[in-house]
Amino acid sequence: MKKVITYGTFDLLHTGHINILRRAKEFGDYLIVAISADVFNKIKGKKAYYSFEQRKAILEAIRYVDEVIPEYNWEQKVEDVQKHDVDVFVMGDDWTGEFDFLKEHCEVVYLPRTVGISTTKIKSDLNNTNNG
């Protein structure tokens, strides 16, 4: 079985998220999604609309996702790849080069982002609508 892993906050689920999950799953048979734990979001200075448990439940309902695990820090990626016997690490191309250190453990793939959509844009648009 070929295992794939990807990482993210996955807050305010949108078509960009679905696209990257679908495309990541095409690289293997089993897709693991590591999502930022609430404590990790605080460390990063991010505030998710949904809690970790809510985001986890949403992702578990998506047919491309086989397993959801928490991400507690930037450094755990090597450990996750080894612990879960991961063959392919997938991220959006806005992270190109950032995770090349994983190439000694697995294949690393950077996928193009869906143009015109992001959680940041959604939050900004909603904020502008509410303030406008």
In terms of Cβ atoms closer than 10 Å to its own Cβ (0-12, 13-18, 19+), residue 131 is exposed
Secondary structure string (H, E, C) spanning 20-63: HHHHHHCCCCEEEEEEECHHHHHHHCCCCCCCHHHHHHHHHCCC
Q: Is 44 a catalytic residue?
A: yes
**Gap between the Cα atoms of 118 and 112, Å rounded:** 13
Which of 2, 42, 44, 47 is labelled catalytic? 44
Q: Is 56 a catalytic residue?
A: no
Token digits of residue 90: 């997938």
Which of 2, 25, 42, 46 is labelled catalytic? 46
Whether residue 101 contacts residue 75, with contact meaning beta carbons closer than 8 Å, is answered with no
- Which active-site residues does the annotation give? 44, 46
